[in-house]
Amino acid sequence: MNILVTGGAGYIGSVTVEQLIEQDYRVVVIDSMERGHKKAVHPDATLVEGNIGSKKTVADILRNYDIDAVMHFAADSLVGESMENPAKYFHNNVTCGLTLMHTAAEHGVKRFILSSTAATYGEPNEIPIPETHPNAPTNPYGESKLMLEKILKWFYQSYGMQYTALRYFNACGASKRFGEDHDPETHLIPLVLDAATGKRKFISVFGDDYPTPDGTCIRDYIHVIDLAKAHILALNTDGSGIFNLGNGQGFSVKEVIAAVELVTGKKIAVKIAPRRAGDPARLVASSEKAQKELGWKPLYPSLEDMVGTAWKWKCANPEGYKDK
Ligand code: UFG
């Protein structure tokens, strides 16, 4: 089976490509390399440097490599940036995503897997959050992903292109070979690990006055290999649908810092900072649907294991991929 992976040089894309190749799929990666890393592309994958918004580039790949299914990771994904520059998010995520989807449907691609997000829900009114929870995104990033999900629903109805939208909660961890290297880095675990290596002097905790047991925000962290495996299960499951991917267990910012201290053996300096705009107090997934319908079961549910793999990768790659 031939799979096109958009954004396969990025964090979650690179680990998914690795899993696909380990399971003998043939993989073509398209990546603009704006945020991706050449070194993150598995050597057994074919890399096309290009933009998913170019109909010709996408059509050539679909034809030349006889693509059966598309896994779509390529997107801008910073909540804060999306508030400052919504046009960028609607253009890159929605306009370019639509070109990709339309070209895939025109070329008879029968399966489309979308990297979506918990940010489609907005402020939750129920925990754990089921897929039936209302969608009320509080930022253009979440809105852009929700728009792609809606387009896919109609494409399925009219063109018969089956789709799976996977709403990730907080991706973290690393495989032996591929890990998280963002510039700028905004995610909690890599930032706390930078404080452990001394690259950062301290970690800012964005608010300790939330209505949670220790006052800091609670998130559902999920290992990147578990996310990758869900994509492959989705590839092999008939029908269309939307699934949450999380552990169903929440950890506070302070608990994450404590886990990093345990794993690394280093004391982390902490500064309490003001709340970050738009942060819900608690985001925890119900992944019952993915477990039941996709047969998905996280292999790395323990926070120490998740942090441990990220730490190993960071120690082996202190400057990340160093290819920029
Ligand atoms: N945090 C800090 N200090 C930091 C960085 C983060 O205290 O320096 C806190 C945040 O306030 C938040 C938690 O750590 O409470 C996790 O923050 P991340 O930035 O790591 O992740 P988010 O939960 O904000 O974002 C993730 C995904 C987004 C997605 C969102 C869904 O990265 O793509 O979940 O709500 F949109």
The pLDDT value given to residue 278: 83
170 lines ligand 1 (CB under 6 A): yes
The pLDDT value given to residue 247: 97
Is 11 noted as a catalytic residue in this protein?
no
DSSP 120: G
Residue located nearest, by CA, to atom 3 of ligand 1 = 205
One-letter amino acid of 229:
K
Residue stretches of the chain with pLDDT short of 50:
none
268 lines ligand 1 (CB under 6 A): no
Of 122, 105, 100, 213, the C-alpha closest to 167 is 122
The pLDDT value given to residue 66: 98
The pLDDT value given to residue 324: 75
Residue located nearest, by CA, to atom 36 of ligand 1 = 119
> What are the structure tokens assigned to 33, written together?
């390399």
**Is 2-171+221-244 a domain of CATH 3.40.50.720?**
yes
Exposure string (b/e) for 289-299, b if CB count within 10 Å is 16 or more? Answer: bbeeebebebe
123-160 tens-digit pLDDT: 999 999 999 999 999 999 999 999 999 999 999 999 99
Q: Rounded CA gap, 65 and 4, in Å? A: 9
Exposure string (b/e) for 221-254, b if CB count within 10 Å is 16 or more? Answer: bbbbbbbbbbbbbbbebeebbbbbbbbbbbbbbb
Beta strand extents in 55-187 (DSSP E only):
69-72, 111-117, 162-168, 170-172
Q: Which of 25, 121, 141, 163 is catalytic?
A: 141
> What are the structure tokens assigned to 156, written together?
């399925």
One-letter amino acid of 121:
Y
Of 205, 242, 226, the C-alpha closest to 121 is 242
> What are the structure tokens assigned to 319, written together?
């400057």
Residues of the chain within CATH 3.90.25.10 domain(s) are: 173-219+249-285+299-316
Dihedrals phi, psi of 88, to nearest 5 degrees: -60, -45
Q: Determine if the peptide bond prior to 184 is cis (ω within 30°).
A: yes
Of 251, 232, 216, the C-alpha closest to 290 is 232
146 lines ligand 1 (CB under 6 A): no
Residues of the chain within CATH 3.40.50.720 domain(s) are: 2-171+221-244
Residues pairing with 171 in the sheet: 222
Of 277, 266, 303, the C-alpha closest to 217 is 277
- For 173-219+249-285+299-316, CATH gives 3.90.25.10
Residue located nearest, by CA, to atom 11 of ligand 1 = 206
**Distances 274 to 74, 204, 277 between C-alpha atoms, Å:** 31, 9, 9
Beta strand extents in the chain (DSSP E only):
2-6, 26-31, 46-49, 69-72, 111-117, 162-168, 170-172, 203-206, 218-219, 221-223, 241-245, 251-252, 270-273, 282-283
The pLDDT value given to residue 277: 86
